[in-house]
Amino acid sequence: MDSWSPDARGSAVSILLVGVSHHSAPVSLLEAVAVSEADRDSLTEELIAGQNVDEAMIVTTCNRVEVYSAVEAFHPALDDVVALLSRHSGMSVDELSRHLYVRYSESAAEHLFSVASGLDSMVVGEQQIIGQIRTAYQSASDIGAAGTTLHRLAQQALHVGKRVHTETGIDSAGASVVSVALDRAAEILNAADEAASAAADRRLDGRRAVVLGAGAMGGLAVAHLGRGGISHIDVTNRTPERANRLSEIARDSGTPATAFPLEELSAAVAEADILFTCTGAVGTVVTLGDVHTALTGRGDRGPLVICDLGMPRDVDPAVSGLPGVTVLGIEALKADPATSAAAAESDAARTIVDAELTAYTQAERMAGVGPLIGKLRGRGGQVVAAEMRRLESRLPDMDEKVRDEVANTIRRVVDKLLHPPTVRFKELAARPDGENYAAVVRTLFDLDGNVDEEASWAGP
Protein backbone atom coordinates (compact mmCIF):
# COMPACT_ATOMS: atom_id res chain seq x y z
CA MET A 1 0.00 0.00 0.00
CA ASP A 2 1.64 3.21 -1.19
CA SER A 3 -0.87 5.70 0.15
CA TRP A 4 -0.74 7.68 3.36
CA SER A 5 -3.88 6.04 4.73
CA PRO A 6 -4.03 3.03 7.02
CA ASP A 7 -5.12 -0.45 6.03
CA ALA A 8 -8.55 -0.84 7.56
CA ARG A 9 -7.91 -4.53 7.98
CA GLY A 10 -4.97 -3.97 10.31
CA SER A 11 -4.95 -5.18 13.91
CA ALA A 12 -5.05 -2.94 16.99
CA VAL A 13 -1.26 -2.55 16.80
CA SER A 14 0.18 -2.17 13.31
CA ILE A 15 3.52 -1.31 11.72
CA LEU A 16 4.02 2.21 10.41
CA LEU A 17 6.99 2.96 8.16
CA VAL A 18 8.11 6.49 7.32
CA GLY A 19 11.20 6.64 5.15
CA VAL A 20 13.35 8.52 2.69
CA SER A 21 15.87 6.93 0.31
CA HIS A 22 17.76 7.31 -2.97
CA HIS A 23 14.49 6.43 -4.72
CA SER A 24 12.62 9.42 -3.31
CA ALA A 25 15.08 12.19 -2.52
CA PRO A 26 18.19 13.97 -3.84
CA VAL A 27 21.54 13.42 -2.18
CA SER A 28 21.42 16.82 -0.46
CA LEU A 29 18.20 15.89 1.34
CA LEU A 30 19.50 12.44 2.27
CA GLU A 31 22.53 14.09 3.83
CA ALA A 32 20.29 16.43 5.86
CA VAL A 33 18.09 13.59 7.13
CA ALA A 34 20.97 11.16 7.77
CA VAL A 35 20.97 9.67 11.27
CA SER A 36 24.32 8.82 12.83
CA GLU A 37 24.86 5.92 15.19
CA ALA A 38 25.26 8.44 18.00
CA ASP A 39 21.90 10.09 17.25
CA ARG A 40 19.86 6.95 16.65
CA ASP A 41 19.19 6.04 20.27
CA SER A 42 18.22 9.56 21.33
CA LEU A 43 15.85 9.98 18.40
CA THR A 44 14.27 6.58 19.07
CA GLU A 45 13.80 7.39 22.76
CA GLU A 46 12.26 10.75 21.88
CA LEU A 47 9.78 9.03 19.60
CA ILE A 48 8.56 6.41 22.08
CA ALA A 49 8.40 9.00 24.88
CA GLY A 50 5.28 10.38 23.21
CA GLN A 51 1.81 8.92 23.47
CA ASN A 52 1.37 7.71 19.90
CA VAL A 53 4.29 5.32 19.27
CA ASP A 54 4.61 2.12 21.30
CA GLU A 55 7.80 0.75 19.71
CA ALA A 56 10.35 2.19 17.29
CA MET A 57 13.36 1.13 15.23
CA ILE A 58 15.42 3.34 12.90
CA VAL A 59 17.20 1.72 9.94
CA THR A 60 19.88 4.05 8.60
CA THR A 61 22.35 3.59 5.72
CA CYS A 62 24.16 5.96 3.37
CA ASN A 63 21.17 5.85 1.02
CA ARG A 64 18.16 5.63 3.35
CA VAL A 65 16.63 6.52 6.69
CA GLU A 66 13.55 4.48 7.64
CA VAL A 67 11.59 4.67 10.88
CA TYR A 68 9.56 1.58 11.76
CA SER A 69 7.01 2.00 14.53
CA ALA A 70 4.40 -0.12 16.27
CA VAL A 71 1.32 2.08 16.59
CA GLU A 72 -2.36 1.91 17.42
CA ALA A 73 -3.47 5.06 15.58
CA PHE A 74 -2.10 5.88 12.13
CA HIS A 75 -2.39 9.66 11.79
CA PRO A 76 -1.15 10.77 15.24
CA ALA A 77 1.86 8.45 14.97
CA LEU A 78 2.61 9.64 11.43
CA ASP A 79 2.59 13.24 12.61
CA ASP A 80 5.01 12.37 15.42
CA VAL A 81 7.50 10.60 13.15
CA VAL A 82 7.45 13.30 10.47
CA ALA A 83 7.87 16.01 13.11
CA LEU A 84 10.85 14.14 14.55
CA LEU A 85 12.55 13.88 11.15
CA SER A 86 11.77 17.53 10.49
CA ARG A 87 13.43 18.66 13.71
CA HIS A 88 16.42 16.41 13.14
CA SER A 89 17.00 17.52 9.54
CA GLY A 90 16.20 21.20 10.08
CA MET A 91 13.74 21.04 7.18
CA SER A 92 10.11 22.11 7.25
CA VAL A 93 7.45 19.40 7.40
CA ASP A 94 6.08 20.47 4.03
CA GLU A 95 9.48 20.37 2.33
CA LEU A 96 10.40 17.05 3.87
CA SER A 97 7.03 15.39 3.23
CA ARG A 98 7.41 15.75 -0.53
CA HIS A 99 10.22 13.21 -0.41
CA LEU A 100 8.92 10.80 2.21
CA TYR A 101 7.24 7.47 1.54
CA VAL A 102 4.83 5.93 4.01
CA ARG A 103 3.81 2.29 4.36
CA TYR A 104 1.38 0.77 6.83
CA SER A 105 0.59 -2.71 8.11
CA GLU A 106 1.34 -5.42 5.51
CA SER A 107 2.86 -2.91 3.09
CA ALA A 108 5.41 -1.85 5.72
CA ALA A 109 6.41 -5.47 6.32
CA GLU A 110 6.69 -6.13 2.59
CA HIS A 111 9.00 -3.13 2.19
CA LEU A 112 11.34 -4.23 4.98
CA PHE A 113 11.48 -7.76 3.56
CA SER A 114 12.41 -6.31 0.15
CA VAL A 115 15.06 -4.10 1.73
CA ALA A 116 16.55 -7.05 3.64
CA SER A 117 16.65 -9.05 0.40
CA GLY A 118 18.62 -6.37 -1.43
CA LEU A 119 15.76 -5.71 -3.87
CA ASP A 120 15.44 -2.04 -2.88
CA SER A 121 19.15 -1.24 -2.87
CA MET A 122 20.97 0.98 -5.32
CA VAL A 123 23.03 -2.11 -6.14
CA VAL A 124 20.47 -4.89 -6.31
CA GLY A 125 21.41 -7.82 -4.11
CA GLU A 126 23.90 -6.10 -1.80
CA GLN A 127 24.17 -7.95 1.51
CA GLN A 128 25.35 -5.14 3.78
CA ILE A 129 21.78 -4.09 4.48
CA ILE A 130 21.11 -7.28 6.45
CA GLY A 131 23.73 -6.30 8.99
CA GLN A 132 22.35 -2.77 9.11
CA ILE A 133 18.85 -4.05 9.89
CA ARG A 134 20.26 -6.32 12.57
CA THR A 135 22.13 -3.39 14.11
CA ALA A 136 19.00 -1.21 14.01
CA TYR A 137 16.94 -3.85 15.80
CA GLN A 138 19.65 -4.54 18.39
CA SER A 139 19.98 -0.82 19.14
CA ALA A 140 16.23 -0.47 19.59
CA SER A 141 16.10 -3.59 21.73
CA ASP A 142 18.96 -2.43 23.97
CA ILE A 143 17.10 0.76 24.92
CA GLY A 144 13.76 -0.98 25.34
CA ALA A 145 12.20 0.51 22.20
CA ALA A 146 11.59 -2.80 20.40
CA GLY A 147 8.82 -4.93 21.86
CA THR A 148 7.00 -8.01 20.63
CA THR A 149 5.70 -6.45 17.40
CA LEU A 150 9.02 -5.13 16.11
CA HIS A 151 10.81 -8.23 17.34
CA ARG A 152 8.64 -10.44 15.15
CA LEU A 153 9.00 -8.06 12.19
CA ALA A 154 12.78 -7.69 12.42
CA GLN A 155 13.47 -11.38 12.97
CA GLN A 156 11.26 -12.31 10.03
CA ALA A 157 12.97 -9.71 7.81
CA LEU A 158 16.41 -11.08 8.71
CA HIS A 159 15.16 -14.60 7.98
CA VAL A 160 13.80 -13.50 4.59
CA GLY A 161 17.03 -11.71 3.68
CA LYS A 162 19.15 -14.72 4.59
CA ARG A 163 16.90 -17.06 2.65
CA VAL A 164 16.98 -14.88 -0.49
CA HIS A 165 20.78 -14.63 -0.46
CA THR A 166 21.11 -18.37 0.16
CA GLU A 167 18.56 -19.66 -2.34
CA THR A 168 19.02 -17.22 -5.26
CA GLY A 169 21.85 -15.60 -7.18
CA ILE A 170 20.67 -12.11 -6.23
CA ASP A 171 24.13 -11.25 -4.89
CA SER A 172 25.50 -10.98 -8.42
CA ALA A 173 22.51 -9.19 -9.95
CA GLY A 174 23.74 -5.63 -9.45
CA ALA A 175 27.29 -6.49 -10.46
CA SER A 176 25.95 -8.14 -13.62
CA VAL A 177 24.30 -4.92 -14.76
CA VAL A 178 27.56 -2.98 -14.31
CA SER A 179 29.57 -5.68 -16.05
CA VAL A 180 27.20 -5.85 -19.01
CA ALA A 181 27.12 -2.07 -19.37
CA LEU A 182 30.91 -1.79 -19.47
CA ASP A 183 31.25 -4.77 -21.82
CA ARG A 184 28.85 -3.08 -24.22
CA ALA A 185 30.80 0.17 -23.89
CA ALA A 186 34.05 -1.63 -24.74
CA GLU A 187 32.45 -3.25 -27.79
CA ILE A 188 31.26 0.12 -29.09
CA LEU A 189 34.63 1.79 -28.56
CA ASN A 190 36.65 -1.05 -30.02
CA ALA A 191 34.39 -1.34 -33.05
CA ALA A 192 35.27 2.27 -33.84
CA ASP A 193 38.99 1.69 -33.32
CA GLU A 194 40.59 -0.70 -35.80
CA ALA A 195 43.77 -0.75 -33.73
CA ALA A 196 42.00 -1.88 -30.57
CA SER A 197 43.45 -4.89 -28.82
CA ALA A 198 41.54 -8.12 -29.38
CA ALA A 199 42.47 -9.52 -25.98
CA ALA A 200 39.19 -10.27 -24.20
CA ASP A 201 40.51 -9.53 -20.73
CA ARG A 202 42.14 -6.18 -21.63
CA ARG A 203 39.39 -4.62 -23.73
CA LEU A 204 39.78 -1.18 -22.17
CA ASP A 205 43.55 -0.76 -22.61
CA GLY A 206 44.40 2.86 -23.32
CA ARG A 207 40.91 4.07 -22.44
CA ARG A 208 39.99 6.71 -19.89
CA ALA A 209 36.80 6.75 -17.81
CA VAL A 210 34.87 9.17 -15.64
CA VAL A 211 32.83 7.71 -12.77
CA LEU A 212 30.11 10.04 -11.48
CA GLY A 213 28.82 8.80 -8.12
CA ALA A 214 30.85 7.22 -5.34
CA GLY A 215 28.23 4.90 -3.91
CA ALA A 216 28.05 1.13 -4.14
CA MET A 217 27.36 1.12 -7.88
CA GLY A 218 30.24 3.51 -8.49
CA GLY A 219 32.47 1.18 -6.51
CA LEU A 220 31.45 -1.73 -8.72
CA ALA A 221 32.15 0.34 -11.83
CA VAL A 222 35.66 1.17 -10.60
CA ALA A 223 36.34 -2.49 -9.90
CA HIS A 224 35.11 -3.66 -13.31
CA LEU A 225 36.94 -0.87 -15.13
CA GLY A 226 40.15 -1.86 -13.40
CA ARG A 227 39.73 -5.51 -14.34
CA GLY A 228 39.02 -4.42 -17.93
CA GLY A 229 42.40 -2.71 -18.19
CA ILE A 230 41.27 0.93 -18.10
CA SER A 231 44.26 3.27 -18.17
CA HIS A 232 42.83 5.97 -15.88
CA ILE A 233 39.68 6.72 -13.88
CA ASP A 234 38.49 10.18 -12.85
CA VAL A 235 36.02 10.07 -9.97
CA THR A 236 33.61 12.78 -8.89
CA ASN A 237 30.80 12.97 -6.39
CA ARG A 238 28.69 15.62 -4.70
CA THR A 239 30.61 14.78 -1.50
CA PRO A 240 34.33 15.22 -2.32
CA GLU A 241 35.43 12.99 0.55
CA ARG A 242 33.65 10.00 -0.96
CA ALA A 243 35.16 10.66 -4.38
CA ASN A 244 38.62 10.85 -2.81
CA ARG A 245 38.05 7.59 -0.99
CA LEU A 246 36.89 5.74 -4.11
CA SER A 247 39.87 7.01 -6.10
CA GLU A 248 42.15 5.77 -3.31
CA ILE A 249 40.55 2.33 -3.50
CA ALA A 250 41.15 2.27 -7.26
CA ARG A 251 44.80 3.21 -6.84
CA ASP A 252 45.26 0.59 -4.12
CA SER A 253 43.98 -1.96 -6.64
CA GLY A 254 46.56 -0.87 -9.20
CA THR A 255 44.40 1.42 -11.37
CA PRO A 256 45.51 5.07 -11.80
CA ALA A 257 42.68 7.27 -10.49
CA THR A 258 42.06 10.88 -9.54
CA ALA A 259 39.20 12.64 -7.78
CA PHE A 260 37.95 15.96 -9.17
CA PRO A 261 35.25 18.54 -8.29
CA LEU A 262 31.80 17.97 -9.76
CA GLU A 263 31.92 21.46 -11.30
CA GLU A 264 34.68 20.25 -13.64
CA LEU A 265 32.61 17.41 -15.09
CA SER A 266 32.58 18.74 -18.69
CA ALA A 267 36.35 19.12 -18.77
CA ALA A 268 36.87 15.59 -17.44
CA VAL A 269 34.40 14.05 -19.90
CA ALA A 270 36.18 15.85 -22.76
CA GLU A 271 39.21 13.64 -22.02
CA ALA A 272 37.25 10.41 -21.45
CA ASP A 273 35.98 7.54 -23.55
CA ILE A 274 33.44 6.30 -21.00
CA LEU A 275 31.22 8.20 -18.57
CA PHE A 276 29.68 5.92 -15.95
CA THR A 277 27.01 7.53 -13.81
CA CYS A 278 24.83 6.30 -10.97
CA THR A 279 24.29 8.99 -8.39
CA GLY A 280 20.94 8.11 -6.84
CA ALA A 281 19.78 11.68 -7.44
CA VAL A 282 16.11 12.26 -8.22
CA GLY A 283 16.63 14.79 -11.05
CA THR A 284 18.97 15.11 -14.03
CA VAL A 285 22.64 15.40 -13.11
CA VAL A 286 24.30 15.36 -16.55
CA THR A 287 22.70 18.00 -18.76
CA LEU A 288 22.70 18.44 -22.52
CA GLY A 289 24.90 21.50 -22.00
CA ASP A 290 27.44 19.50 -19.97
CA VAL A 291 27.94 16.94 -22.72
CA HIS A 292 27.84 19.49 -25.55
CA THR A 293 30.62 21.46 -23.82
CA ALA A 294 32.62 18.25 -23.39
CA LEU A 295 32.25 17.35 -27.06
CA THR A 296 33.62 20.69 -28.21
CA GLY A 297 36.83 19.99 -26.36
CA ARG A 298 37.30 16.38 -27.54
CA GLY A 299 38.84 17.07 -30.91
CA ASP A 300 39.35 13.75 -32.72
CA ARG A 301 39.27 11.65 -29.56
CA GLY A 302 36.47 9.47 -30.94
CA PRO A 303 33.09 8.32 -29.64
CA LEU A 304 31.85 8.81 -26.10
CA VAL A 305 29.87 6.06 -24.40
CA ILE A 306 27.72 7.03 -21.42
CA CYS A 307 26.58 4.24 -19.08
CA ASP A 308 23.63 5.74 -17.21
CA LEU A 309 22.53 3.30 -14.50
CA GLY A 310 20.81 5.90 -12.37
CA MET A 311 17.29 5.10 -11.14
CA PRO A 312 15.82 7.50 -12.16
CA ARG A 313 18.30 8.24 -14.91
CA ASP A 314 21.03 10.79 -14.33
CA VAL A 315 21.50 11.90 -17.95
CA ASP A 316 19.21 14.22 -19.89
CA PRO A 317 17.49 12.04 -22.57
CA ALA A 318 18.38 14.65 -25.21
CA VAL A 319 22.06 13.72 -24.84
CA SER A 320 21.47 10.51 -26.82
CA GLY A 321 20.80 12.62 -29.92
CA LEU A 322 24.25 14.18 -29.97
CA PRO A 323 26.61 12.92 -32.71
CA GLY A 324 29.31 10.55 -31.52
CA VAL A 325 27.54 9.82 -28.23
CA THR A 326 25.98 6.49 -27.22
CA VAL A 327 23.90 6.36 -24.04
CA LEU A 328 23.43 2.95 -22.43
CA GLY A 329 20.62 3.01 -19.87
CA ILE A 330 18.80 0.36 -17.88
CA GLU A 331 16.21 -0.12 -20.62
CA ALA A 332 18.89 -0.63 -23.28
CA LEU A 333 20.51 -3.35 -21.19
CA LYS A 334 17.40 -5.42 -20.49
CA ALA A 335 17.73 -7.46 -23.68
CA ASP A 336 21.23 -8.70 -22.81
CA PRO A 337 21.18 -12.39 -21.73
CA ALA A 338 23.37 -11.70 -18.70
CA THR A 339 21.09 -8.91 -17.56
CA SER A 340 18.06 -11.11 -18.15
CA ALA A 341 19.63 -13.75 -15.94
CA ALA A 342 20.11 -11.16 -13.22
CA ALA A 343 16.47 -10.12 -13.61
CA ALA A 344 15.46 -13.76 -13.21
CA GLU A 345 17.30 -13.88 -9.89
CA SER A 346 15.44 -10.76 -8.79
CA ASP A 347 12.17 -12.44 -9.76
CA ALA A 348 13.13 -15.51 -7.73
CA ALA A 349 13.92 -13.29 -4.76
CA ARG A 350 10.57 -11.52 -5.12
CA THR A 351 8.80 -14.89 -5.10
CA ILE A 352 10.43 -15.73 -1.77
CA VAL A 353 9.52 -12.32 -0.34
CA ASP A 354 5.89 -12.76 -1.39
CA ALA A 355 5.66 -16.24 0.15
CA GLU A 356 7.27 -15.13 3.41
CA LEU A 357 5.02 -12.07 3.55
CA THR A 358 1.94 -14.28 3.24
CA ALA A 359 3.15 -16.51 6.08
CA TYR A 360 4.03 -13.51 8.23
CA THR A 361 0.71 -11.73 7.74
CA GLN A 362 -1.25 -14.89 8.44
CA ALA A 363 0.67 -15.42 11.66
CA GLU A 364 0.17 -11.77 12.64
CA ARG A 365 -3.55 -11.97 12.04
CA MET A 366 -3.84 -15.12 14.13
CA ALA A 367 -1.76 -13.54 16.89
CA GLY A 368 -3.97 -10.48 16.72
CA VAL A 369 -7.12 -12.46 17.53
CA GLY A 370 -5.54 -14.10 20.57
CA PRO A 371 -6.91 -11.46 22.98
CA LEU A 372 -10.34 -11.77 21.35
CA ILE A 373 -10.35 -15.52 21.82
CA GLY A 374 -9.33 -14.92 25.42
CA LYS A 375 -12.35 -12.68 25.80
CA LEU A 376 -14.58 -15.31 24.21
CA ARG A 377 -13.39 -17.92 26.66
CA GLY A 378 -13.73 -15.37 29.45
CA ARG A 379 -17.34 -14.85 28.45
CA GLY A 380 -17.88 -18.58 28.70
CA GLY A 381 -16.30 -18.56 32.14
CA GLN A 382 -18.62 -15.76 33.22
CA VAL A 383 -21.63 -17.80 32.06
CA VAL A 384 -20.49 -20.84 34.04
CA ALA A 385 -19.83 -18.76 37.17
CA ALA A 386 -23.20 -17.00 36.90
CA GLU A 387 -25.12 -20.25 36.50
CA MET A 388 -23.31 -21.84 39.44
CA ARG A 389 -24.14 -18.86 41.65
CA ARG A 390 -27.76 -19.12 40.56
CA LEU A 391 -27.83 -22.85 41.32
CA GLU A 392 -26.18 -22.43 44.71
CA SER A 393 -28.70 -19.73 45.68
CA ARG A 394 -31.54 -22.14 44.94
CA LEU A 395 -29.86 -25.20 46.45
CA PRO A 396 -27.76 -23.89 49.34
CA ASP A 397 -27.49 -27.34 50.94
CA MET A 398 -26.14 -29.02 47.82
CA ASP A 399 -23.42 -31.61 48.48
CA GLU A 400 -19.88 -30.41 47.58
CA LYS A 401 -19.21 -33.40 45.32
CA VAL A 402 -22.48 -32.88 43.51
CA ARG A 403 -21.67 -29.18 43.12
CA ASP A 404 -18.27 -29.96 41.56
CA GLU A 405 -19.81 -32.47 39.18
CA VAL A 406 -22.49 -30.03 38.08
CA ALA A 407 -19.87 -27.26 37.56
CA ASN A 408 -17.69 -29.62 35.49
CA THR A 409 -20.68 -30.65 33.41
CA ILE A 410 -21.59 -27.03 32.63
CA ARG A 411 -17.97 -26.29 31.68
CA ARG A 412 -17.88 -29.29 29.34
CA VAL A 413 -21.08 -28.15 27.65
CA VAL A 414 -19.74 -24.63 27.16
CA ASP A 415 -16.42 -26.09 25.97
CA LYS A 416 -18.11 -28.18 23.32
CA LEU A 417 -20.27 -25.29 22.16
CA LEU A 418 -17.32 -22.88 21.85
CA HIS A 419 -14.76 -25.28 20.43
CA PRO A 420 -15.96 -25.46 16.77
CA PRO A 421 -16.48 -21.68 16.34
CA THR A 422 -13.13 -20.97 18.05
CA VAL A 423 -11.22 -23.32 15.75
CA ARG A 424 -13.01 -21.96 12.70
CA PHE A 425 -12.46 -18.40 13.83
CA LYS A 426 -8.70 -18.97 14.06
CA GLU A 427 -8.71 -20.27 10.49
CA LEU A 428 -10.78 -17.37 9.17
CA ALA A 429 -8.70 -14.82 11.06
CA ALA A 430 -5.66 -15.74 8.95
CA ARG A 431 -7.46 -14.60 5.81
CA PRO A 432 -7.04 -11.08 4.39
CA ASP A 433 -10.60 -10.27 5.47
CA GLY A 434 -10.07 -11.77 8.92
CA GLU A 435 -10.96 -8.53 10.70
CA ASN A 436 -14.50 -8.86 9.34
CA TYR A 437 -14.91 -12.17 11.15
CA ALA A 438 -13.42 -10.67 14.30
CA ALA A 439 -16.09 -7.96 14.18
CA VAL A 440 -18.79 -10.61 13.85
CA VAL A 441 -17.45 -12.57 16.84
CA ARG A 442 -17.26 -9.42 18.97
CA THR A 443 -20.87 -8.58 18.11
CA LEU A 444 -22.34 -12.08 18.48
CA PHE A 445 -20.77 -12.70 21.86
CA ASP A 446 -20.92 -9.09 23.08
CA LEU A 447 -17.15 -8.96 23.63
CA ASP A 448 -16.77 -5.19 23.41
CA GLY A 449 -18.11 -4.91 26.94
CA ASN A 450 -16.39 -5.77 30.20
CA VAL A 451 -15.19 -9.36 30.04
CA ASP A 452 -13.20 -10.93 32.84
CA GLU A 453 -10.68 -13.10 30.98
CA GLU A 454 -9.54 -14.52 34.32
CA ALA A 455 -12.90 -16.31 34.47
CA SER A 456 -11.70 -18.49 31.57
CA TRP A 457 -10.80 -22.13 32.03
CA ALA A 458 -8.69 -24.74 30.27
CA GLY A 459 -10.90 -25.00 27.23
CA PRO A 460 -10.39 -24.88 23.45
Q: Which of 255, 204, 205, 261 lies closest to 235, judged by CA?
A: 261
Beta bridge partners of 259: 235
Quote the DSSP letter at residue 315. Answer: B
**What is the spatial distance between Cα 258 and Cα 173, in angstroms, rounded to a whole number?**
28
- The one catalytic residue in 30, 62, 130, 278 is 62
Residues 6+ apart with CB under 8 A from 12: 72, 368
Distances (CA, A) of 163 to 152, 307, 351: 16, 32, 11
Active site residue 62: yes
Q: At what angle do helices 337-368 and 400-429 cross, to 10 degrees?
A: 160
3-class DSSP assignment, residue 229: coil
Residues 6+ apart with CB under 8 A from 324: 295, 298, 302, 303, 304
**What is the spatial distance between Cα 360 and Cα 105, in angstroms, rounded to a whole number?**
11
**What is the spatial distance between Cα 339 and Cα 334, in angstroms, rounded to a whole number?**
6
User: Any idea which residues carry the catalytic annotation?
Assistant: 62
